[in-house]
Amino acid sequence: MRDIRSLFRDKPAVSRARIDAFLEKHGFSTSRSVQRLDGNFTNLVLDVRTRSSGRVFLKIQFRQSRGFSLKTEFIATRVLQAAPGVPVSESIVYDGDREPLPFECLLIPREHGKPGVDYYRGASRAGRLRLGALLGETLARVHSQKCPKALRSENTGDLASWEATVRDAMFGDATLASSIEATLPELWDRLLAALHPAPEIRIGGGNVFLWGEPGLHNVFVDNGRSLRITNVHDFQSAGWGTATHDLKQVEGETVARPGSEYHEPGYLEAFRSSYQAAIEKPVAPLSAEEEKLLAIIKNIRGIRFFWDCGRLLHPRTPEFLGAAVSDLEGLQDVVPGR
């Protein structure tokens, strides 16, 4: 029986011949060496040293999941190329032909710099706080850009579309719905009751162009004369929604990642202060109801993500669904239009 660990372990083998054919298709020289890097459930990432075209990352998406796409990353990166202060790759290449590699692929030039996480671990307190401030400033610049129409349907954190997001994630796949109903019948019945009818929640504020996965793990830095971010990447879940979605992603690094180095006192304060100083339109705090909606979206999408990737229920599905249902039930008494 497949389990979560198998999603990390089971990845396709890709021959050097196919890699070289793919490189030549896009005007690159053939590979001198290929090193497999850590990816995630959906991606295989290869560090390729070419014979005369430099070093590139070949990102291969071999599993599909809602709201997670290499095409999204390509579109977002192309838009951000024109954004001042957002250092993204200038020559990123997207290929959805599935030939000669039978998957969607991105070719991304290997940018100058050191991974942000590695720099953070070895930096002084002052260096860590400075990096937090730089990340806040960079994220504000991403949020200040106009979101392209092609990504506005990617409701990464669009609170106004929360009901459609939940219904699509839970009921859009009949096999998933029947699996949850059979496995967690009481929670399933509570979910149905909480959505019939769905509570009407007043949504304040507006949406921004979301990075989707902001954080130290997705930046490169240079510490020459002064510390600077040389590249930001991983926009596979970029989209349209409340800025708080991205802010919580960054804040989660201090608790979700292993090691005490992510708990540097003052790091989050430096990040938040720099973000608020650089953002064109200040971000208003979410209401208690909006916070619940954001948590509901996160938990429900988490269930669907693992289902899309492996056709299995994550062991924490009872926890994810239970939290979402409890939040939905807590919204039932909210007065419409409040």
One-letter amino acid for residue 322 of the chain:
G
Rg from Cα positions in the chain = 21
Instruction: Please count the residues of the chain.
Output: 338
Mean pLDDT of 196-222: 92
Cβ-proximal residues to 90 (8 Å cutoff; 6+ apart), any chain: 81, 109
pLDDT digits (tens, 9 = 90+) for 213-254: 999 999 999 987 789 999 999 999 999 999 999 999 998 876
pTM comes to: 0.90
Q: Three-state SS across the chain?
A: CCCHHHHHHCCCCCCHHHHHHHHHHCCCCCEEEEEEECCCCCEEEEEEEECCCCEEEEEEECCCECCECHHHHHHHHHHHCCCCCCCCCCCCEEECCCCCCCCEEEEEECCCCEEHHHHHHHCCHHHHHHHHHHHHHHHHHHHCCCCCHHHHCCCCECHHHHHHHHHHHHHCCHHHHHHHHHHCHHHHHHHHHHCCCCCCCCCCCCCEEECCCCCHHHEEEEECCCEEEEEECCCCCCEEECHHHHHHHHHHHHHHCCCHHHHCCCHHHHHHHHHHHHCCCCCCCCCHHHHHHHHHHHHHHHHHHHHHHHCCCCCCHHHHHHHHHHHHHHHCCCCCCC
Answer with the residue of higher pLDDT: 141 or 153: 141
Q: Which amino acid is at 218?
A: N
C-alpha 157: how far from chain center:
11
**What is residue 77's predicted lDDT score, i.e. its pLDDT?**
96
The pLDDT tens digits of the residues spanning 86-107 come to 999 988 999 999 999 999 999 9
Query: Does residue 289 register a pLDDT over 60?
Result: yes
Token representation of residue 283: 């971000």
Q: What integer pLDDT is reported at residue 337 of this predicted model?
A: 45
Mean pLDDT across 129-151: 95
Range of weakest confidence among 25-29, 166-170, 225-229: 225-229
* Separation between Cα atoms, residue 20 and residue 338, nearest integer Å: 59
pLDDT greater at residue 204 or residue 128: 128
CA distance 219 to 104: 23
Confidence of residue 261 (pLDDT cuts 50, 70, 90): low
CB neighbour class for 333 (10 Å; exposed up to 12, middle 13-18, buried from 19)? exposed
48 touches 56 (CB < 8 A) = yes
Domains along the chain with CATH numbers:
33-109 (3.30.200), 114-151+206-278 (1.10.510.10), 155-204+286-331 (no CATH)
CA dihedral 163, 167, 170, 174 (to 10 degrees): 180
- In whole angstroms, what is the distance from residue 299 CA to residue 289 CA? 15
Tokens (6 digits) for 119: 């720099």
Rounded to the nearest integer, the mean pLDDT of the chain is: 91
What residue has token string 């001198």?
32
Q: How far, in whole angstroms, is CA 220 from its chain's centroid?
A: 17
Residue 318: exposure state from Cβ atoms within 10 A (0-12, 13-18, ≥19)? middle
